[in-house]
Structure 1
Amino acid sequence: MRSPLPDGEFQFIALDVETACGDSASICQIGIACVGYDNSIHTWSTYVDPQMPFAPFNIDLHGIGPDTVRNAGNFAQVWPDMLPLLTRHPMVQHSRFDEHAINAACKAHGLQRPRLTWHDSVTIARAAWPELKGNGGHGLANLKQVLNLDFHHHDAGEDARAAAMVVLKAQAASSGLTTKKELRFKPIQLSLPL
């Protein structure tokens, strides 16, 4: 039995998925991090039966395998319950992978592609810390070191929380960015690139 989804209104929600194999539709875990207006972060995650075989590489990466998802619902059972919460908030992902995986899973399960407002925390991190380009980059592993983030990489809930922390730290570090190639950060609402 899954724990209940967070309830309420949030600044934004970060989302991360883990997949069972090279097929981006093979979602085996979904995690979200709901960021309150006081910058608190409420994390929630659920395992998903991908209804596809697990690849050894993926199991080694995130530790999720067939036994982990044995009693989990499939994507078509889990996703519709999440949509009312997600569609009313700006969404953050760290790279475009998560959006592509959600769209692929929707297609594979015959579900309508969701209309979500996506933002990429990699783009946000690049605007806030351009000096990291060529110096470790803007991936979560490097940002974990540079920003002193505390999270367990390759767990969907933890990675969603990490993406949320990147955005919050970028908001704090980057107030006032206004050029066309950078993002402006507002404490309450994310804005799209100018």
Structure 2
Amino acid sequence: MSGSLFSRTYRFVALDVETANGDSGSICQLGLAMVDHDGVIQTASFMIDPEVRFAPFNTQLHGIGPDTVAGQPRFGDVIEPLRDFLTRHVLVQHSQFDQKAIGAACRRYDLPNLSTRWLNSVQVARKAWPQLRGNGGHGLGNLQKVLRLNFKHHDAAEDSKAAAQVILLAEAELGFNFIE
């Protein structure tokens, strides 16, 4: 994990998680989208053994189950090597679920929470496209259609990339920099 991808500094990093069940701390996948200063997006995905049971609803939603994460690292084994990288960037999330899930998983494993600035791409999308309120909304599913985003919904790396694209498109739409 100490590869050049995580030793660099990016304009921002979008983060998304998938969970095994209704407990937000049951993270089974972590996705990252690193946005370079020229707008190029690179993604990374980590499967995580949440060490809890999977709810059928969650498995059906994202396709991750016990067999998918068998032998994969636990949350702390993934987040700790990434901690310095993540805390030196603005982290973009689509809604506030991801920040809450990271916090819950940190508490569950008795780890310090990530100390960084979070930016919610839903709030940014509401500023850029207010006409979507009551007209499909600002969720990734609707934004995928309206903004013609190409991604596989409910895959953490793909959803993080979509959140990053929402920020870049909103900045282009409004002529405003949400990061700096």
* TM-score class normalised by the smaller sequence: over 0.9
Structure having the higher helix fraction is 2
Q: Does residue 171 of structure 1 match 2:157?
A: no
Change beyond 3 A, Cα 1:114–1:98: same
Query: How far 1:113 moved relative to its partner?
Result: 1.3
Contact kept? 1:49, 1:69, Cα under 8 Å: yes
The answer to whether the Cα contact below 8 Å between 2:16 and 2:160 also exists between their aligned partners in 1 is yes
Question: Quick check: 1:5–1:44 contact (8 Å CA) kept in 2?
Answer: no
Per the alignment, residue 123 of structure 2 pairs with 123
| Aligned residue type for 1:129 | W
Partner of 2:162: 162
Is 1:70 paired with 2:59?
no
- Cα distance in structure 1, aligned partners of 2:141 and 2:171: 20
| Pairing 1:6–2:42 present | no
Separation of aligned partners in 2, 1:5 and 1:170: 29
What's the counterpart of residue 90 of structure 2?
90
Q: 4+ runs of 1 displaced by more than 6 Å?
A: none
CA shift digits 1:134-177 (9 cap, x unpaired): 000000000000000000000000000000000000010011xx
Q: Pick 1 or 2: higher relative contact order, CA cutoff 8 A, min separation 6.
A: 2
Query: Residues 4-43 of structure 1 correspond to what in structure 2 (within 5 A)?
Result: 4=3, 6-7=5-6, 8-43=8-43
8 Å contact kept, 1:30–1:46:
yes
Matches for 1:102-141 after TM superposition, within 5 Å: 102-141=102-141
Helix, strand or coil for the counterpart of 1:61?
Answer: helix
How many angstroms apart in 2 are the aligned matches of 1:144 and 1:169? 12
**Superposition deviation, residue 114 in structure 1:** 1.4
Distance 2:29 2:2 in 1: 14
In the alignment, structure 2 segments of 5+ residues that lack a partner are: none
The aligned length equals 179
Give the partner amino acid of 2:124. I
Q: Residues of 2 paired with 1:5 and 1:82: CA distance? A: 12
SS in structure 1 at match of 2:110: coil
- Cα offset for 1:51? 0.6
Deviation at 1:116, TM superposition (A): 1.4
- Structure 1 residues 3 and 136: CA distance shift in structure 2, 3 A: farther
- Alpha-carbon contact 2:2-2:81 (below 8 Å) kept: no
Indicate the percent of aligned positions where both proteins have the same amino acid. 52
